Amino acid sequence: MDDFYGWDFKRNLVFYHGQMRPHRQVQLLVFWESIRCPFEDEKQLDGARLKIIGFWVDAIKGSISLTSESIQALVSDINTFLSTPNRKPALSVWQHLTGSLNWSLNVLPWARPGLTEMYRKMSGKTHQHAGIPINGEVYRDLTWFTNMLQTAIGCALLMLKLGMILRLTLLAGLMPVILDLPLSMLAMVLFISSILIPSQLLTSSFVNFLQFYVSCIILLPFHPTTPCSHTL
């Protein structure tokens, strides 16, 4: 890809080609013009939420998700596939659908097991026009995939949540310090950790946004009268 991405402050705008644009973006465009590098002006987008190769990238929420148009297209492809006469789509049709669904896994990695049976059915097949029967497992997986697509939120960029900070204090042996907090304050900390902050995402493969984790502080067997030693 020959795309270029950058960042700028929200109010750092200048007038360029008939509209207000981020100053840093304008500096790049002026440079391109100075070296006569061609570019399409209408493709020079900016904002906190941008559509990039069919995905919504939200810089404020730190999330990447499918567009509604992409979801509708995928659901339509699945429904067309499942309604194939005699329930025996050609191998080329299987490959086309798995390719489309594979693309969606960029932001829905937890849905990957939903394609396992499809790949197993295609394994060893080489004749593009030969029909492959849709079995119960494939029908079930694709039905689940359809329902999941219509409610999926997407994935989030790397973030550190308060709940993780609390867990680190446990690993550092600082439980007595936490337990010294007033009960009302501890309850508030647990509430913020488990409800207001979305699940921590450790790598570029993420878990569902809707999963929230309750801090395990009050679940651990801890006895204040027992000596607690630790090494920092």
State the Cα–Cα distance between residues 9 and 44, nearest whole angstrom: 17
DSSP per residue, 60-85: TTTEEEE-HHHHHHHHHHHHHHHT-G
Region at 47 (left for phi over 0; alpha for psi -120 to 50; beta for the rest)? left
- Looking at every residue in the chain, the average pLDDT score rounds to 72
pTM of the full structure: 0.57
- CA neighbours closer than 13 Å in the CB half-sphere of residue 195: 6
Among the listed ranges 58-67, 101-110, 123-132, 155-164, which one has the minimum average pLDDT value? 155-164
Report whether 148 contacts 78 (CB < 8 A).
Answer: no
Q: What percent of the chain has pLDDT over 90?
A: 23
Domains, the chain, with CATH or none: 1-47 (no CATH), 68-149 (3.30.70), 162-219 (no CATH)
What are the structure tokens assigned to 50, written together? 């941008």
pLDDT exceeds cutoff 70 at 29: yes
Q: In this predicted model, which residue has the larger pLDDT, 36 or 164?
A: 36
pLDDT tens, residue by residue, 127-161: 999 899 999 999 999 999 998 888 777 776 654 34
pLDDT exceeds cutoff 70 at 118: yes
Report whether 77 contacts 100 (CB < 8 A).
Answer: yes
State the Cα–Cα distance between residues 42 and 14, nearest whole angstrom: 17
In which band, very low, low, confident or very high, does the pLDDT at 168 lie, cut at 50, 70 and 90? Answer: low
Q: Which burial class, exposed, middle or buried, applies to 90 when counting CB atoms under 10 A from its CB (0-12, 13-18, 19+)?
A: middle
Q: In this predicted model, which residue has the larger pLDDT, 66 or 157?
A: 66
